Structure 1
């Protein structure tokens, strides 16, 4: 996973990130986060996202507070922060799903929502770039901005909330052509059938 993050954030996006060897890690990895991992048919990790409760340190509050504008950083047990969303798909990846996005994008988004529903979350807060904000909008899981975009390194970054609800999960499943849960352990009480 840390190698995938290195390839995506250091090599591809050229972000200023902490690296050691060909691995990308930061202090938030020391806080025992939840990681959602996407494995390919070859069992290699092809995607990841990190989730942390906002009741402790977060990237938004502790690294990017300028993105809050006049708002206060969330600190609630029903709001978690996502970070380090990354995909590294081989050229042989199956055709794109709706919106020209890889089905793997929808799978990770669905996994985030399933995790949120299973843990009684209402929202996920995230710091992302405006490119990823467009991807979220195409996927029908739009970011509700907290403040205005700001330059961060070589990109425009923005902070915002993502809704955790059965409705958002159904939209993601329908748009991504997902027929049921994506997490390994099905979560009781969630709609499992095809959407549409």
Structure 2
């Protein structure tokens, strides 16, 4: 019988050991697997956005096997600071819009599809819980397709645009937007109001 998956949300100072595992996972996915040109140290991938983020991790046997983070667009966030050209410099700044970034599933995880779907569902639940009207993300077309396959209702609002190099050549980015409303939540098995 497979072990259970557990979802935790936390801020940087609340769960340092979980965050350290998440940074290791991010390094494995973004630096080793994808070959992105991003800052890293000691086999960890972290940046200045982590401090103010709300982090989400999927744990299996107390090991981080999935992850994403979210930032309010009222603060400086990844799309605004690193990829504003994707939106022609017109990035959202609103208390009701949050950014999702650094979505990762452990390479080689036996239950990777289940972990990914759980993370996508949790993105929608998070949006509902923080009373966001929209979630925005800069991501690659592969993740965009996966999110759609999971049932999350999204719209591409920019891209694709080449934003760097990776192991497979050019890294393309798109910007996706997700309205947090009853149809979106129902599409991933959630209600508009938390239980």
In the superposition, the TM-score normalised over structure 2's length comes to 0.79
Q: Deviations over 1:37-96 (max 9, x none)?
A: 1011x2210011010000110111111011103x61011101000100000054532xxx
Aligned length in residues: 169
* Contact 1:33–1:50 (8 Å) recurs in 2: yes
Work out whether 1:53 is the aligned partner of 2:72. Answer: yes
Moved more, 45-54 or 139-148: 139-148
Which 4+ residue blocks in structure 1 deviate beyond 3 angstroms?
89-92
Change (3 A) 1:91 1:76: closer
Work out whether 1:86 is the aligned partner of 2:104. Answer: yes
Change (3 A) 1:168 1:111: same
Q: CA RMSD in A?
A: 2.0
* Contact 1:125–1:161 (8 Å) recurs in 2: yes
Change (3 A) 1:91 1:3: closer
Please show how residues 65-84 of structure 1 align to structure 2 within 5 Å: 65-69=84-88, 72-84=90-102
* Contact 2:70–2:99 (8 Å) recurs in 1: yes
Please show how residues 1-196 of structure 1 align to structure 2 within 5 Å: 1-30=22-51, 32-40=52-60, 42-69=61-88, 72-88=90-106, 90-93=108-111, 102-153=113-164, 154-173=170-189, 189-190=193-194
Q: Which has the higher strand share?
A: 2
SS at match of 1:16: coil
Residue segments in structure 1 that go unaligned for 5+ positions in a row: 94-100, 174-179, 182-187
What is the distance in 1 between the residues matched to 2:162 and 2:93?
25
SS at match of 1:102: helix
* Contact 2:153–2:184 (8 Å) recurs in 1: no
